[in-house]
Amino acid sequence: MSVAGFTSTGSKHPQVLFGTVSADTPVRMIASHGCTVVGSDGRSYLDFLMALGAVALGYGHDEVNRSAIEAVQQGGIGSLAPAQEELLAGDIAEMMPGLEQVRFLKTGAEAAAAAVRLARVITGRDRVLGCGYHGWLDWCSASGGVPEATRSLYREIPFNDAEQSVELIRAAGGSLACVVLEPVIDAAPQVEWLAAVREACDHVGALLVFDEIKTAFRVSPGGAVQRWGVQPDLTILGKALANGFPLAAVGGKAELMGRVRDTWISSTMATEWVALAAARATLRVMREQQVTTHLHLMGGMLLAGLRLLADLHPVLIERASGIEELCNLHYRNEDVARRVALACAERGLLFKRNAYNFVSLAHSAAEVSMALDILAAVLREQERAMPPGRNTG
């Protein structure tokens, strides 16, 4: 094995996906189309992981591919700032009016780090409060190798808990540069929570940053801001922005974004234009085909099915959680989660056991119902296989 730790995307490690593997478990893949991935053994799997949410139109979407191929044929990269960059910034501003200006980067983690850097420059302060996952970089990470001095600048606020969040923001007070939050964590945000955080940030003079890497282009055309009506100062985009081509962005009001002049945020590859062209095509499809309505409908069907399965199998499942566009089953324990994920894969379904499942434009009611049928069969089988005395609710 030559890739250290098996794969460069930690969340695609078989141990993370399935908990354990058998000889038949798909661990590497060779192709993807629509809502299907093809394992290296040539077998096709109906997919609800959608590259960890990076794809909302379906894999290999024709219009996105055509734009990307054209960009490749036009060289893909060069020595001047590409025209595509300015055009895409305009497209984003049209869909998300709060994003008057943006800067592009390649990964969500980079875009989040750029937002924090900007907030620190704008406020002249160091401390950051966060809620959710914002990538692997030092500013928000407690993993090995992060200096204690860096860790000490970051703290979490609790999702949907207005009282505690406001208390932590006020306690950080004059040293707080920003609050970075994911608008959806296992549930929809309470508008009162978002509004309380907004007000507390204004009170102490800190910026509010929405990390919309999972929610943008899914929960509504204008993202969480449009769906829940609270406006952040800066917004971070990634994942579905270019339907799987590597692209992320940070954006906000021109007056705030203009402060990039006071720091150094730059990446050689940020202006290759294959991903920029893919993103322009993605946003075009988003606008023309009411993609977020489709995701809401298909996701609604999935979530309703998951809730029904949770009611039918309380011994195995604690609850169904999330919102229509990103949802999940919480199993009673890790062993059940592992067995269900493996049994689903054996039947040709990739269904996340401990994080969100995503629908895409390529998922129709037929695929959602196929997934629910497989899950129902697997859960019945798992419940029957439980030792006597444990299969009562």
Ligand X SMILES: Cc1ncc(COP(=O)(O)O)c(C=O)c1O
Q: Least CB distance from residue 121 to ligand X, whole Å? A: 20
What's the closest the beta carbon of residue 136 comes to ligand X, in angstroms? 7
Residues 6+ away with beta carbon under 8 Å from 83: none
Tokens encoding 117: 């850097």
Query: Does position 107 bind ligand X by CB under 6 A?
Result: yes
CB of 387 to ligand X, least distance (A): 37
Compute the distance between CA of residue 239 and CA of residue 53 in angstroms, rounded to an integer: 6
Q: Residue 262 and residue 80: Cα distance in Å, rounded? A: 22
Among 35, 37, 71, 109, binds ligand X (CB under 6 A): 109
**With respect to ligand X, which residue has the nearer C-beta, 245 or 316?**
245
- Rounded to the nearest whole angstrom, what is the least distance from the CB of residue 239 to ligand X in the complex? 7
Name the residue nearer to ligand X (CB basis): 110 or 324. 110
Between residues 182 and 325, which has the closer beta carbon with respect to ligand X? 182
**Which residues inside 123-162 make contact with ligand X, applying CB under 6 A?**
132-135
- Count of residues in contact with ligand X, rule CB under 6 A: 14
Question: Of residues 103, 120, 182, 283, which one binds ligand X by CB under 6 A?
Answer: 182
CA distances from 181 to 65, 198, 266, 304 (A): 32, 11, 24, 27
Q: 3-state SS string over 126-148?
A: CEEEEECCCCCCHHHCCCCCCCH
Query: CB of residue 263 vs ligand X: minimum separation in angstroms?
Result: 20
Binding residues among 270-329 for ligand X as defined by CB under 6 A: none
Taking CB atoms, the residue at the shortest distance from ligand X is 108
352 binds ligand X (CB under 6 A): no
- Which of 46, 99, 102, 112 is close enough to bind ligand X by CB under 6 A? 112
The answer to whether 82 and 271 have CB atoms below 8 angstroms apart is yes
Residue 274 or 372 having the CB closest to ligand X: 274
Which residues have C-beta within 8 Å of that of residue 5, sequence separation ≥ 6?
A: 13
CB of 266 to ligand X, least distance (A): 17
Residues 184-213: x where in contact with ligand X by CB under 6 A, - otherwise, as a string: ---------------------------x-x
To 10 degrees, the CA torsion angle through 185, 189, 56, 373? 70
212-231 residues in contact with ligand X (CB under 6 A) are 213-214
Nearer to ligand X, 237 or 349 (CB): 237
Shortest Å distance, C-beta 374 to ligand X: 25
Residue-level length of the chain: 393
Task: Give yes or no for residue 251 binding ligand X (CB under 6 A).
Answer: no
β partners of residue 321: 328
Binding mask 25-54 for ligand X (x = CB under 6 A): ---------------------------x--
Residue 255 CB, nearest distance to ligand X (Å)?
Answer: 25
Contact partners, residue 301, CB within 8 Å, separation at least 6: 365, 368, 369
CB closer to ligand X, 36 vs 107:
107
- CB neighbour burial string for 29-58, b if at least 16 within 10 angstroms, e if fewer: beebebbbbbbeeeeebbbbbbbebbbbbb
- Closest CB to ligand X among residues 6, 133: 133
d(CA 285, CA 361): 10
Q: Which is nearer to ligand X, 328 or 382 (CB)?
A: 328
Compute the least distance from the CB of residue 390 to ligand X, in Å.
35
For ligand X, the closer of residues 109 and 286 by Cβ is 109
Report the distance separating Cα 169 and Cα 278, nearest Å. Answer: 39
- Single residue of 189, 238, 251, 299 touching ligand X by CB under 6 A: 238
Binding site for ligand X (CB under 6 A): 52, 107-109, 112, 132-135, 182, 211, 213-214, 238
